[in-house]
Amino acid sequence: MELKEYWSDSHHSSDFKLTRIGFVAIRFRWLVTLLIIGIAGWIAVDWWVLDPAHFKLIWKIRLITGAMLTPLLPLSYLCKLNRRWMVASLYFLVGVLLAFNLVGLWSFRDGAPIPIGYIAFPYFLLALLSVLPLPVKSGLRVAAVITLCVLATDYWLDSRSLDNGALLDRLWLLICFSLAMIWVQAGQLRMLLDLYRESTRDPLTRLMNRRLFMRQLAHQRDEGGRRPYTLILFDLDRFKRINDEHGHLMGDEVLVRVATTLGDIFGPEAIMSRYGGEEFMVLLPDTTLEQGLRQAETLRLAVESQPVENPLGEGEITVTLSAGVVEGRHDSDLQSLLNRADEALYDAKCSGRNCVQAAA
């Protein structure tokens, strides 16, 4: 995992972004539920430890805060579909809780001793937010908002001076808790990325598996506008013979080499998948049928010109492929598109293999 993937979600795939947002939405929902129950339930503790004057104000503040958080529960089901809603909901949650902290501390402005729970609330909030798998950049923003608001609250309610040892102690603790929160969030992000890759990548070639490829294909059709795109479906000629005559280690080496060649030919713009067995699929966005045919032919020549050496040191073999190419558009039926690509591949096989055919 590259460091840039820790820093910002701009380096994540669109599919993983949706996966992560869905995961965050679930944890966000449980977090809001816990806070609503906890804030309201703490009224019993306030009744026990606070004098009647303070309790009369605090229990109302707690109920109002819980009521303001309640709409986030149904909204969390929509947040998993939209990153902006998720970000707005998170900052709304933080804003409501910081306002609760401000009003709670303000209620002790008469000099009465402040219970430790109110002083420690910002640290408790940072600890709770660590359950969300946020990138470091997002975590820093949240931590900065909380830290600045807490320091501003202390400055306004207490000394109105920055030359204050208690304020510096508060800042030091906030920084420590913020760094701990970001560390835990980054660890959860890594765990989620690892699980996502294990479930969406072919373990041998590290290309997309078929399930993820179909999601990407549907996304290209729905979000690509009226721009055409091209599908290349190909498989390796007489691959069973390679396994039978040279062993499965050689077969695996061939698959890995072809996957490497795919990356070299098409680059990061293409969406590539091990479609099944020795079959591969390539999606080329913003590509016409003629352009797709040329690129498929370039791939065919590249694979044929690069003999694969047997990992057991028993010589090398030449590998060829047959490919079918089809053009898709925004109104294409995906199953029909795949059937046409498969028919073109079958025509290439019937034409003697080691060739490229366009779909009718």
- Which residue carries 């996957």 as its tokens? 259
Q: Which residue's structure tokens are 């089809």? A: 326
Among candidate residues 245, 278, 290, 327, the one labeled active-site is 278
Query: In terms of Cα–Cα distance, which of 320, 351, 299 is closest to 239?
Result: 320
Q: In the numeric block, which tokens belong to residue 265?
A: 């030919």
Cβ atoms within 10 Å, residue 41: 11
For the chain, the first-to-last Cα distance in angstroms comes to 42
User: Residue 245 catalytic?
Assistant: no
- How many other C-beta atoms can be found within 10 angstroms of the C-beta atom of residue 355? 17
Distance CA 234, CA 288 (A): 18
Q: Can you tell me the distance from the alpha carbon of 252 to that of 257, in angstroms, rounded to the nearest whole number? A: 9
Q: Three-class SS of residue 333?
A: coil
Q: At what angle do helices 14-41 and 83-106 cross, to 10 degrees?
A: 20
Residue 242 and residue 251 in contact, taking contact as beta carbons nearer than 8 Å: yes
- Catalytic positions, written as ranges: 278
